[in-house]
Structure 1
Amino acid sequence: MGAGWALYHSGAGHDRVPSPTTAQAPLVTKSVTTTIAESAAAAAATPDLDELGLSDQITYTKPPTSEDVTQQLNEHAFTVRGAPGGVGRYDGAQLASNSPCEDAFVHGSFSNPFGATPKWMAWAVFDGHCGWQLSNLLKTELMPFVRRSLGDAKPTDNGEVSDEAVQQALKNSFTTFDDALVKSATAIMESDLPFPEKARRLEPAYAGSCAILTLFDPQSRKLHVASTGDCRAVLGQKTADGKWVATALSEDCTGATPSEIARIKAQFPDEPDVVQGGRIWGLQPSRTFGDGMWKWTAELKKNLRYYYNGLSLPSHSRYKNYKDGPYVTAEPLVTTTQVPDSKEGQPSFLILATDGLWDTMSSEQAVDLVGKWYERQQKGTSVVELEKPTQDFGPTILGWKQQCKYEERKATFRDNNAAVHLMRNGLGGADEEMIRGALAFRYPNSRDIRDDITIQVVFFGSGP
């Protein structure tokens, strides 16, 4: 599953991408010593460079074909059907731009934190930066903190747990996890652990990660969303007049968000330069996991840099007025939304994705694309031929002048996975030359035109 991590239980009606296990690994019958000896013997053979031939021209690798595009978009795609709590279906997909991919994701069911039934559902995406180490850690380590914090939530006098209590539990789980990660740096350095163990424990806090976690209580039909950074969740609902309406479930937390700018400037009134150009001392997200370099003191960062290969960000040579912070926080913004019952004739779905998708389209465009896809699926018209030939779309331009962007005139409906459908349309849609060009660029050149993209789409009710 690439950078993702499946936590759902196996059961009838699930289409799953198998997780690697020891049972799936090939049976090893030779001893390690024999294998090493054979490898050494093979390495000792002198390669015959004559086999490369004679030429005065360069042979380049081929760009992706349309079939290669479809295969690449579906490489990490999955569909889960018949999930607990009336979730008919959910789809997911991931496409890397970085190498390795800095995105990660998690999905699945977990025991009702308040002792009742049925199980709750969870979906999350993590957008790493300054490396993949922290997003990779979050996919396995965050949910245990969330479950523990929910279990500690205090019920009201009538025995119910309020929305406010759930929201506070989510905030506590995020900050507790981040404190355990970031504030342990000094203790790790001063411990008796071997150096390699210290280095590995410090490594995730050098990196950072945005995150969006959604929890669904099937009994109350409440959807709780906790967000740090610029991952985004949106609810799509079909109204009585047949239109699809987008409802924001999260707010981007960056140095360009007015409420976040006001919060940070109020916190650091003596540092007028703290937010410049939509960034906090060079960092775009204003709420993140990790990013110790924006949370540790100058003295601690110096010691980490000198003795444990810590990062040099943010640079004092560039940000001369930088002090000690901490300038960013892992405390999420949390919302609670009532999901309409599909039995009442109001189909709805959840889209959550890293900013790689939102760089290419708006929330309203994403909801419109999935809504129209849903209607076609309901009618059984899952695959539709292109309505316009490629040559109608004009010249292909990808670079600083134009990055990957969704255009309604290029919308196409050819994928049976809703997440792949969004991804394809964000990269060029029906414009075959555009999307082939987008995937022709590989890391690091690809980063100038597209980011890592991770998407999950959840259909409440029977699903398509």
Structure 2
Amino acid sequence: MISERLIRQRPRLVTITRLHYQPLPRRLRFSSSESSKTASPSAVGTGVVSFAVGLAAGWALYRNGKSDKRAASLVTPTALTAPDLNELGVSDQVAYTKPPTLEDVTRQLNEHNFTVRGALGGIDRYDGAQLASNSPCEDAFVHGSFSNPFSTAGGGGKWMAWAVFDGHCGWQLSNLLKTQLMPFVRRSLADAKPTDDSDLSEEAVQQALKNSFTTLDDALVKSATSTIESDLPFAEKARRLEPAYAGACALLTLFDPESRKLHVASTGDCRAVLGQKAADGKWVTTALSEDCTGATPSEAARIKAQFPDEPDIVQGGRVWGLQPSRTFGDGMWKWTAALKKNLRYHFNGLSLPSRTRYKNYKDGPYVTAEPLVTTTRIPDPKEGRPSFLILATDGLWDTMSSEQAVDLVGKWYDRQQKGAVVEPEKQTEDFGPVILGWRQQCKYEERKATFRDDNAAVHLIRNGLGGADEEMVRGALAFRYPNSRDIRDDITVQVVFFGPVQ
């Protein structure tokens, strides 16, 4: 029963009860109910005081340790007045939480947005935004500049980097990648630098990126045995194992302003696409990454060829129930049966994949963190071809195609160039009844396209939730975790607009 419940709780893992339904809905099933009525200010105040005291005590213990006398004094029970529950009133009517208003919608969509202008090395601007469905959000992202890995000491310019991470079976690994991936990437690129200061080939850069991904993943996954056999305290062992219990797809893009080469490394189903304006004024879409899942023919063929004696390994577009075919972590698809049993019994490891469901499952490892890497030259806008990069977790691509995303950003860009930041106010159109559930999840429809946001990433997210159909967008955001997982995933988007060579 525990294993079945764990499977149901993981959006990237196939369920037992819903195996034959498409599309697979998001799943997480239980949450605590809300209070039936809002508490009075005095009751809330009492709770806040109690919470603050507990928080202060906990922080003191964390910072100073149990032996600290100051911490001990903080945990001394404080005399509080019992809250007066009469203030909640007497009623046979349920007071429900209000759904989001249109202002709430805009506020929520922009809660984590950012815009960076005048970045180094021919970047005009880049926008980003994130909308959570899970709680906590299982997506993460990183952006910024770093020293040219191939320049001589003290010389050379800087490269730019943008990345998005899509976690599953928890947020722990995506959150770790946010701080740990770039150091491994920089180290790997530095190690690949020729000793004679000659130029490094594209193939060598791509191999360095592959090495950085697999080296980091090995440090997380292959260290499990040494971790549990070490003399570390149990709590330390648990924290070191935690990221490998989870999994994460990763999409990293690096831009060298000098060569104007964009390197894209991808594991899983995050996606990068390039939009370029053609001579006729239309925007052309170029895929910079390939979805790495069991549903991708090339990936399915690769895995079946690697495990020819396991014909059932890829079923329903999944690798023994796991949707991504290349991921960080996901130790349960990489460890031996003996190690998994040890971890399950003694270190709270997951019982996945289920041997009840997958009787022919052996030891693997069945998935890898080695990314697919591409290199593309970005033309200078002076050449007459403006271009932009969209990178996003699959939460966006569940709602629209690559071509639709490029079209939306292209039209948004054209409006920006004309000085029309947002469209003028207009009467809301009646798009019919709102349906969200197994019959219809959030999706973009061209007839509902809207241009009301001055952040390109927010613009994409809003249109993916319903666009100009304001009731559809309100409905999408009215559902909160865990119910929201049946209609939308965590969504993280970054949009990069390339400028002229400086």
TM-score by length of 1: 0.91
- The equivalent of 2:78 in structure 1 is 41
Matches within 5 A, 1:46-85: 46-85=82-121
User: 1:87 is matched with which residue?
Assistant: 123
What is the letter of the counterpart of residue 461 of structure 1?
Answer: G
Structure 1 ranges of 4+ moved more than 4 A: 31-37
- Give CA-to-partner distance per residue, 1:140-190, whole Å, 9 cap, x none: 000000000000114397811000000000000000000010000000000
Say whether the 8 Å CA contact 1:386–1:412 is kept in structure 2.
no
3-state SS in 1 of match to 2:291: coil
Q: Secondary structure at the match of 1:343?
A: helix
Cα-to-partner distance string for 1:103-135 (whole Å, 9 max, x where unaligned): 000000000000152200000000000000000
Is the Cα–Cα contact under 8 Å of residues 143 and 163 in structure 2 kept in the other structure?
yes
Are residue 415 (structure 1) and residue 486 (structure 2) matched? no
Residue in structure 1 matched with residue 496 of structure 2 by the alignment? 458
Q: Residue 300 of structure 1 aligns to which amino acid in structure 2?
A: L
Aligned equivalents of 1:34 and 1:197: distance in 2? 27
Alignment of 1:425-464 (within 5 A): 425-461=463-499
For 1:41, the aligned partner's letter is: T
Contact 2:256/2:262 (8 A) holds in 1: yes
Cα distance in structure 1, aligned partners of 2:103 and 2:486 = 24
- 1:34 shift after superposition: 6.2
Q: Verify: 1:145 aligned to 2:181, yes or no.
A: no
* Whole-Å separation in 2 of the counterparts to 1:191 and 1:112: 38
2:289 and 2:426 map into 1 onto residues whose CA distance is: 35
Matched, 1:230 2:264: no
> Match of 2:38?
none
Q: Which moved more, 1:112-121 or 1:199-208?
A: 112-121
Secondary structure at the aligned position of 2:262 is classed as: strand
Q: 1:173 aligns with which of 176, 187, 212?
A: 212
Aligned amino acid, residue 86 of structure 1: G
In the alignment, the residues of structure 2 paired with residue 311 and residue 183 of structure 1 have an alpha-carbon distance, to the nearest angstrom, of: 16
Alignment check: 8 A CA contact 1:390 1:433 kept: no
Cα 1:388–1:157, aligned 2, differ >3 Å: closer, same or farther? farther
Cα offset, 1:389, TM superposition: 2.3
Equivalence for 1:22: none
CA gap of 1:158–1:147, structure 2 versus 1, over 3 A, is closer
Residue type at the aligned position of 1:104 = A
Shift of 1:462: 6.2
Report 1:84-233 matches (<5 A). 84-115=120-151, 116-155=155-194, 159-233=198-272
* Alpha-carbon distance in 1 for matches of 2:72, 2:233: 28
**Do residues 338 (structure 1) and 377 (structure 2) align?**
yes
Cross-structure match for 1:269: 308
Contact 1:424–1:435 (CA<8 Å) still a contact in 2?
yes
Displacement of 1:346 in angstroms is: 1.2
Map Cα deviations across residues 195-215 of structure 1 (whole Å, 9 max, x no partner): 000000000000000010000
User: Structure 2 stretches of 5 or more lacking a match?
Assistant: 1-55, 60-69
> Which residue matches 1:3?
none
CA distance in 1: counterparts of 2:78 and 2:390, whole angstroms: 53
Using structure 2 for the length normalisation, give the TM-score.
0.84
- Which SS does the other structure have where 1:82 is aligned? strand
Q: How many pairs are equivalent?
A: 432
- Is the partner of 1:152 in helix, strand or coil? helix
Aligned to 1:8: none
> Is the 1:360–1:426 Cα contact (8 Å) retained in structure 2?
yes
Does structure 2 retain, via aligned residues, the 8 Å contact 1:103–1:127? yes
> Could you tell me the percent identity over the aligned residues?
82
Instruction: Answer with 56-65 or 378-387: which moved more.
Output: 378-387
Write out per-residue CA displacement over residues 226-248 of structure 1, whole angstroms, 9 at most, x where no aligned residue: 00000000000001110000100
**What's the secondary structure of 1:390's corresponding residue?**
coil
Letter in 2 for 1:315: S
Matched-pair contact (CA < 8 Å) for 2:164–2:392: yes
Shift of 1:390: 3.3
Residue of structure 2 equivalent to 1:424: 462
- C-alpha distance after superposition, 1:316-355 (max 9, x if no partner): 1110000000000000000000001012221100000000
Give distance in 1, aligned partners of 2:493 and 2:391: 6
Match of 1:371 in 2: 410
**Cα separation, partners in 2 of 1:417 and 1:446, compared to 1, 3 Å:** same
- 1:45 Cα deviation (Å)? 2.3
Q: Distance in 2 between matches of 1:198 and 1:352?
A: 35
2:391 pairs with 1:347:
no
Contact 2:380 2:500 in 1 (8 A): no
2:12 is aligned to: none
Q: What displacement does 1:33 show?
A: 5.9
**Aligned AA for 1:73?**
L
My pick for the range that moved more, 378-387 or 136-145, is 378-387
Q: In 1, are the aligned partners of 2:150 and 2:193 still within 8 Å (CA)?
A: no
| CA drift at 1:387 | 5.4
- Give the SS at the match of 1:215: strand
Give the aligned partner of residue 7 of structure 1: none
Counterpart-to-counterpart distance in 1, 2:363 and 2:422: 56
TM-aligned CA deviation for residue 221 of structure 1: 0.1
Query: Is the contact between residue 295 and residue 316 of structure 2 (CA under 8 Å) also seen in structure 1?
Result: yes
CA distance in 2 between counterparts of 1:386 and 1:185 reads: 57
What is the distance in 2 between the residues matched to 1:153 and 1:388?
58
CA distance in 1, matches of 2:312, 2:249: 23
Kept in 1, the 8 Å contact 2:141–2:165? The answer is yes
